[in-house]
């Protein structure tokens, strides 16, 4: 009997629990999460509500339970060294050690690493430390159009881009100098194009890639409103997005492969777990926006339901370094994932409001930022629940997801446009214009 510990309690972790629950391996799933996610709780033998970010505490749970393998969902425990702590108590993890998880949590280190090893997809950038106000102003003037990024983790909400959250160059300078008081800041050229997420299982050396997905960061329809953790996402049948070509895909894969090889060379530590590459296809080719050391949320909800290979076999191969000899397959279907979020999200979300989940039809339902009390489901203020439609075509998948989400009642909102033909066409037209101008 294999004992599996899942760390984390969001939609991504519910999708992981779902993938574990489909495994043919005899197993028991345990979960450690900071709030009771009813979806995860329903899939495990036992769950514990505790601080999932405390690395030593997670390791104590793992040791007491005698687990064979831990799967780490979110980034904060990785940043806090949970994989290293688990290794000290003899537990293998699906997740990278702290030393290499910094590919996600230290954007300044990652950019310098990419530069040093000549890894493809690097935008123009410079890193600034507190006190370098004059230098940062000069560099923003030099680039003219920039993205301003705090070096550390910000839950996808600290990055601000000119023309979006920053009105003009003066606003960019003000924001950069404000951030510089407390953090190292990365200034990058403002990349224009279409974003692509590529996620891969990694065993220290080999990578097995999931189909490409596109997330929607903006809160409101038509890509308006503030940035969020992600309002929903889709993939097309096959591994490409509708506006991508094979060449883009090969380049993205090569960049991820180089990162895995070079990070071992640089740190001596093999990267094991999930590597998430966020790319942008521009007029001048593919560029890297960032790497994450975990599945995306919502992107995990697209790819894990498509996984045909037994997920626990994949986890074993990740920790044993045998991914190269495992045939990792995804079914050739499209998915659309839509998040229902509290009204007012992300700035003033309604918290502790009760919601009712009706019949979601053919959609899969994943719980995220909710908790259950006395049989009633309440919002926490974060993204609440997601539905996923899975079908032969994007068109059908979108309808399934949309029908599912309309059965969820409460002070919630979602983006009906995600996965709709009009929005997909807009993306393709945008990419065509960019490619024509290069």
Question: Residue numbers of the site for ligand GLY (CB under 6 A)?
Answer: 156, 215, 230, 292, 296-297, 299
> Quick one: 150 or 410, whose CB is closer to ligand AMP?
150
In DSSP notation, 94-131 reads: ES--HHHHHHHH-HHHHHHHHHHTT-SSPPSEEEE-TT
Q: Which does 177 bind (CB under 5 to 8 A by kind): ligand AMP, ligand GLY, none?
A: none
Q: How far apart are CA 173 and CA 187, in angstroms?
A: 10
Cβ atoms of 3 and 67 within 8 Å: the answer is yes
What six digits make up the tokens of 390? 């899975």
SS3 state of residue 167: coil
According to CB under 6 A, which one of 39, 156, 369, 419 is a site residue for ligand AMP? 156
By a kind-dependent CB cut-off of 5 to 8 A, residue 147 interacts, out of ligand GLY, ligand AMP, none, with ligand AMP
Distance CA 162, CA 192 (A): 11
Phi and psi of 242, rounded to 5°? -60, -25
Contact partner at residue 296 from ligand AMP, ligand GLY, none, CB < 5 to 8 Å by partner kind: ligand GLY
Does 207 bind ligand AMP (CB under 6 A)? Our answer is: no
Task: State the Rg of the chain over Cα.
Answer: 21
Cβ closer to ligand AMP: 123 or 298? Answer: 123
Cβ count near 426 (within 10 Å): 16
**Phi/psi of residue 175, nearest 5 degrees:** -65, -45
Residue 318 binds which entry of ligand GLY, ligand AMP, none, CB below 5-8 Å type-dependent: none
137 or 294, CB closer to ligand GLY?
A: 294
Measure the CA–CA gap between 69 and 261, rounded to whole angstroms.
24
Q: How far are the Cα atoms of 26, 27, 74, 150 from residue 64, in angstroms, in the given order? A: 20, 17, 22, 38
Q: CB-wise, 158 or 230, nearer to ligand GLY?
A: 230
CA angle centred on 174, ends 195 and 219, rounded to 5°: 35
Region binding ligand AMP by CB under 6 A among candidate stretches 155-163, 243-251, 296-304, 353-361: 155-163
CA distance 134 to 432: 39
Select 178 or 308, whichever has its Cβ closest to ligand AMP.
178
User: CB of 435: closest distance to ligand AMP in angstroms?
Assistant: 18
Token pair belonging to 255: 């960049």
Q: Tell me how far apart the terminal alpha carbons of the chain are, to the nearest angstrom.
A: 57
Under the binding rule (CB under 6 A), the answer on residue 187 touching ligand AMP is no
**Closest CB to ligand AMP among 76 and 227?**
227
Minimum CB separation of residue 230 from ligand GLY in Å reads: 3
Please state the closest distance from residue 124 (CB atom) to ligand AMP, in A: 9
Report the residue from 278, 335, 382, 387 that binds ligand AMP according to the rule CB under 6 A.
278
> How many other C-beta atoms can be found within 10 angstroms of the C-beta atom of residue 48?
17
- Which residue among 69, 127, 140, 161 contacts ligand AMP (CB under 6 A)? 161
Question: φ, ψ for residue 279 (rounded to 5)?
Answer: -115, 160
Say whether residue 217 binds ligand AMP (CB under 6 A): yes
Q: What is the closest distance, in whole angstroms, from the C-beta atom of residue 415 to ligand GLY in the complex? A: 14
Interface contacts to ligand AMP, rule CB under 6 A: 123, 147, 156, 159, 161, 188, 190-191, 195, 217, 227, 278, 289-290
């Amino acid at each position: 009997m294999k004992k599996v510990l899942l760390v984390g309690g969001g939609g991504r972790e519910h999708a992981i629990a779902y993938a574990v629950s489909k495994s043919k391996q005899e197993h028991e799933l345990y979960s450690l999460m900071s709030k009771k996610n009813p979806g995860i709780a329903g899939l495990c033998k036992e769950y514990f509500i505790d601080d999932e970010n405390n690395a030593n505490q997670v390791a104590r749970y793992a040791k007491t339970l005698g687990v064979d393998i831990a799967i780490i969902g979110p980034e904060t425990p990785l940043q806090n060294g949970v994989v290293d702590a688990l290794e000290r108590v003899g537990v293998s993890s699906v997740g990278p050690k702290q030393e290499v998880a910094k590919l996600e949590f230290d954007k300044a280190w990652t950019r310098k690493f990419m530069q040093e090893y000549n890894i493809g997809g690097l935008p123009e950038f410079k890193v600034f430390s507190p006190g370098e106000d004059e230098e940062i102003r000069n560099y923003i003037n030099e680039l003219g159009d920039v993205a301003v990024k705090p070096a550390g983790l910000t839950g996808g909400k600290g990055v601000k881009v000119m023309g979006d959250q920053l009105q003009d160059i003066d606003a960019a300078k003000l924001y950069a100098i404000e951030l510089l008081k407390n953090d190292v800041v990365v200034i990058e050229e403002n990349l224009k194009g279409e974003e692509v997420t590529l996620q891969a299982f990694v065993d220290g050396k080999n990578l097995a890639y999931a189909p490409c997905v596109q997330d929607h960061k903006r809160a409101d329809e038509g890509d308006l409103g503030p940035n969020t953790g992600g309002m929903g996402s889709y993939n097309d049948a096959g591994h490409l997005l509708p506006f991508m070509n094979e060449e883009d895909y090969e380049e993205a894969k090569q960049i991820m492969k180089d990162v895995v090889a070079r990070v071992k060379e640089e740190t001596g530590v093999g990267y094991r777990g999930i590597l998430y590459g966020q790319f942008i296809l521009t007029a001048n080719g593919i560029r890297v926006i960032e790497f994450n050391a975990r599945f995306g949320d919502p992107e995990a909800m697209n790819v894990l339901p498509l996984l045909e290979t037994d997920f626990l076999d994949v986890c074993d191969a990740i920790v044993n370094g045998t991914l190269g000899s495992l045939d990792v397959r995804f079914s050739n279907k499209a998915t659309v994932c839509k998040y229902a979020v509290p009204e007012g999200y992300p700035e003033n979300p309604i918290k502790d409001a009760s919601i009712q989940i009706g019949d979601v039809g053919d959609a899969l339902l994943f719980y995220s930022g909710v908790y259950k009390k006395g049989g009633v489901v309440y919002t926490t203020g974060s993204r609440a629940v997601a539905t996923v439609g899975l079908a032969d075509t994007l068109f059908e998948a979108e309808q399934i997801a949309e029908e599912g989400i309309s059965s969820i009642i409460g002070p919630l909102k979602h983006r009906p446009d995600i996965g709709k033909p009009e929005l997909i066409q807009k993306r393709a037209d945008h990419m065509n214009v960019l490619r024509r101008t290069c």
